[in-house]
Structure 1
Amino acid sequence: MKLKLFFAGLMSAASLAAAESCLGGGSKVSTSEVQKALSGILGNAKVVSVSNAPISGLYEVVIESGGRKVPIYVDCNLKYLVNGEIIDINKKVSLTRERLQQLQSQANSEKEEKLVKILGKDKVEMLKKEGLLEAVNIVDLKSIPKSNVAYGNGNIKIYVITDPQCPYCAKLHEEIKKVLAQRKDVSFEMIMYPLPFHKHASGIAQNIICQNDNAAKQKILDAAFSYTAKGDENGLTSLEKPCNAGKQAIDNNLKYGQANGINGTPTIIFPKGVAISGALPADKLNKLIDILK
């Protein structure tokens, strides 16, 4: 939440005049030094570059979180952080917004190049046609945690980062059932990812993980999504059953998500590590499965 508020604060106005930079004197800090200085503020965001800022006495620091790069500004001694936009008064333009657009364009180009190597040009063009290229993230499939509950028996494995108390996850769950009713070549591997602001989610996820039988796991998750859709707090409470093995598995799942820029649920991970967040409808899921299988 701190990081989201921090990003939101970047859009506040701060009019400053252009001049020299921190690097004018020949000294430059490293990305690791800036990362250390800002560690208490940036959370899981990573410092990717340090360069001249458009005004005197500041560095421009580009940070990355969840595949998004954002410019922020710190003073030359790393004591102060400027939370706002740099505006060119004469041109009446936000230099920060221009830089954001430049970074986004660069990120999209880099992502497209990676996707072409992974998928081939034809499939990337199909993603563009579906209007999903910007929404796509690339994650590491080799280190993905073990599935906590599975639906379907097909050879095409689709991983779903999900929260048993997430309303959008409940919506996606119904769409997944529609897909499974239409095709037998796919299986959905659910990875429990309880968000901290859902008070029942962790206890329910632990209960699911600690069941020995997949059918029992499905029964609990199906019930959790049903109660979530109806806003039934008592029903959700009845499904909570913490266990040590479940807690350890969830900790591992959360570490994977944080390392791969997964910031919310549901997130769907298709073959070859192509990830898209959101409750996609069944027809869109089917198209993406066919494109990415």
Structure 2
Amino acid sequence: MRQQRLVGLAAIFVLVGLFLIPGNIAWGANSNKQSRTKCETLSEKDARAVLDSLRLNEAKILKIQMSPVQGLWELAVENRGDRFLVYVDCSRNFVMPGPIIERQTGIDKTRQRVEELNRERRVDLTGLRLDEALVMGDRNAPVKVIGFVDPDCPFCKKLHHEMKKVLEKRTDIAFFLKLTLIRQSPQVEQKSKAVVCNRSLGMLEEAFEGKALPSAECDSKELEENTKFMETNGLHGVPVTLFPDGSVQVGFVESSALEARINEAVGRMKGEIKKQPMDAGKK
């Protein structure tokens, strides 16, 4: 399986190799101190110029560091709430979005790094209504986790099963599911309206299983509000999971990893609460 995956990524390696050749030739041909210094450093001013040339004028630079590939700089960027990487060579003339694949392990280092960036981000949950959400578990459970899904999303279905596994072990957790039209299509809209208008978790699960849902219309603005919330916070796909401290999980995870992220979030919140009395006395 691993060999097949690596073979399938052979084209990517070839492209990355071709991309790196000009930079390496220039670096090796000009061995003076100025040339070496240019590759050993990438200032924020230079990084800003690269992003501006890509029409990412409003993007925020989160971090600049050397990528796993020698001679290729990694820019961690946030643009309109979306976090991603841009790779820049030593000449500052070539850029690429990735992925960078580690040959021996087959690990997508770009994806791994983006996941780290998303673990660091926080979404302000203030004002996010839960009264119309579909609830898995006890609505009054102390730990509330929010999930954005749509009925036609296969990874939402997979994550739904993993949420059930967590609930089999944890009665202190509840999942609040909010449907969204972030993936625009007539089919998604029709099924989502049916689920929201009936406020039916059962109908959502039927949709996950590929069953047809009756059309429905109602006065609820939940779909529009949920979609706007996602767009405002740079959340562009489903599933998305928001933990109690506002931390974010993009995409599917297994139940063990999901529970671990929940525990991390709760632990951080408890730590912050414990620090408050000490900080409150400082002037």
What TM-score range do you get, normalising by the shorter chain?
A: 0.5 to 0.7
Structure 2 residue aligned with 1:161: 148
The aligned residue for residue 64 of structure 1 is 77
- 1:251 paired with 2:234, answer no
Task: Mark the CA change 1:13 to 1:272 in structure 2 (over 3 Å): closer, same or farther.
Answer: same
8 Å contact from structure 1 (residues 47, 61) kept in 2: no
The answer for the alignment partner of 2:242 in structure 1 is 269
Map residues 25-104 of structure 1 onto 2, 5 A cutoff.
35-39=51-55, 46-47=60-61, 62=75, 64-65=77-78, 66-72=82-88, 82-83=95-96
Q: 1:140 aligns with which of 123, 127, 133?
A: 123
Which secondary structure state, in structure 1, belongs to the residue aligned with residue 203 of structure 2? helix
Inter-CA distance 158–217: structure 2 relative to 1 (3 Å threshold): same
- Number of matched pairs: 221
Instruction: Provide the C-alpha distance between the structure 2 equivalents of 1:34 and 1:242, rounded to a whole number of angstroms.
Output: 48
- 1:189 and 2:176 matched: yes
Q: CA deviation at 1:283?
A: 4.5
**Is the 1:162–1:265 contact (alpha carbons within 8 Å) kept by the matching residues of 2?**
yes
Per the normalisation by structure 2, the TM-score is 0.55
Check whether the contact 1:13–1:84 (CA below 8 A) recurs between aligned residues. no
Q: In the superposition, relative to structure 1, how do residues 247 and 268 fare at CA in structure 2: closer, same or farther (>3 Å)?
A: closer
Taking a change above 3 Å as real, the CA distance of residues 61 and 284 of structure 1, as seen in their structure-2 partners, is: closer
Residue 11 of structure 1: how far off its partner (Å): 3.4
Amino acid at match of 1:174: H
Residues 150 and 187, structure 1, Cα contact 8 Å, conserved in 2:
no
Q: Match of 1:168, as an amino acid?
A: F
1:128 matched residue in structure 2: none
Alpha-carbon shift at residue 247 of structure 1 (Å): 5.0
RMSD (CA atoms): 4.9
2:252 alignment partner AA: A
TM-score (norm 1): 0.53
Q: Which amino acid aligns with 2:207?
A: A
What corresponds to 1:13 in structure 2? 18
Conserved 8 A contact 1:149-1:218: no
> Structure 2 regions of 5+ residues with no counterpart?
1-11, 39-43, 66-72, 99-107, 267-283
1:138 positional shift: 2.9
Alignment gaps of 5+ in structure 1: 1-7, 52-59, 86-99, 109-131
Aligned counterpart for 1:202 among listed residues 185, 189, 207: 189
Q: Which residue of 1 aligns with 2:105?
A: none
Matched residues, percent identical? 18
Deviation at 1:249, TM superposition (A): 1.1
Q: CA deviation at 1:169?
A: 0.7
8 A Cα contact 1:169 1:265, kept in partner = yes
Counterparts of 1:50 and 1:183, CA distance in 2: 40
Which residue of the other structure, out of 199, 203, 223, is the alignment partner of 1:220?
A: 203
